[in-house]
Structure 1
Amino acid sequence: MSTDIENKVPYTVSNIEKCMCSQCPVQANSVCAQEKFSSFKNEIKSSGGGEGPEPKEVPGIYCSTGSATCIDLNPNQQCICKTCAVWEEYDLEHAKPMMYFCNIGRAD
């Protein structure tokens, strides 16, 4: 587990695959996020796990990339960041911000 929170969460295919954002209630009713999720899954499959898609096209890993480009997210819903393997691996409990990266921005 990383204890150096000065290092940002790397934007990698591995971290994208561990990311729980696509299952988050904050994004559940977002047409934008759901469309991006469908497109992104197809792109990951066709790339064979090489380079990931552009961050603005990924409906997640906001702890790495920053605020969501989708504007129809509902930040009043319960965030599930604490259930994510990326959260644990990068010790995001001690990051700023600590949750709601999709709304507030990436973890530092």
Structure 2
Amino acid sequence: MGVEFSMENIRRCLCLECPVQKRSRCVADKKKIMLLITQQDLDSAMRMDTDRVPGVYCSTGRAICRDIDPHEVCLCSECEVWDEHGLGEGRVTDYFCIREE
């Protein structure tokens, strides 16, 4: 697939706004950690490990938070990262957070 796990892709990723993650306590906790890192650390990019970021699943694989709701609507196809990398053309065309590729 070749999607880089980078601060640029983290910023452009829609996963944090996705209804699939809306009610997840785990995602909410990880969002708080991300906010704290970016507010307190000028070198925050170095501390954004895949286990801290609830998103960019097209890069990292399946979600680490298991309390997400796969019955909600997925926003993958509306994401800039998705479009830029032609992810709709692959075998997995939605719900990267659930179906590791």
TM normalised by structure 1 equals 0.84
Aligned residue pairs total: 100
1:72 aligns with 2:67: yes
Structure 1 partner of 2:52: 57
Q: Secondary structure at the match of 1:72?
A: coil
RMSD: 1.5
> How many angstroms does 1:44 deviate by?
3.3
1:31 aligns with 2:25: yes
> Distance in 2 between the 1:80 and 1:73 partners?
14
1:44 aligns with 2:38: yes
> How many angstroms does 1:33 deviate by?
0.5
- 1:36 to 1:94, Cα distance in 2 relative to 1, 3 A: same
In structure 2, give the amino acid aligned to 1:73.
I
Out of 56, 74, 87, the residue aligned to residue 92 of structure 1 is: 87
> How many angstroms does 1:49 deviate by?
5.3
TM normalised by structure 2 equals 0.89
> How many angstroms does 1:99 deviate by?
1.1
Structure 2 partner of 1:8: 2
Alignment gaps of 5+ in structure 2: none
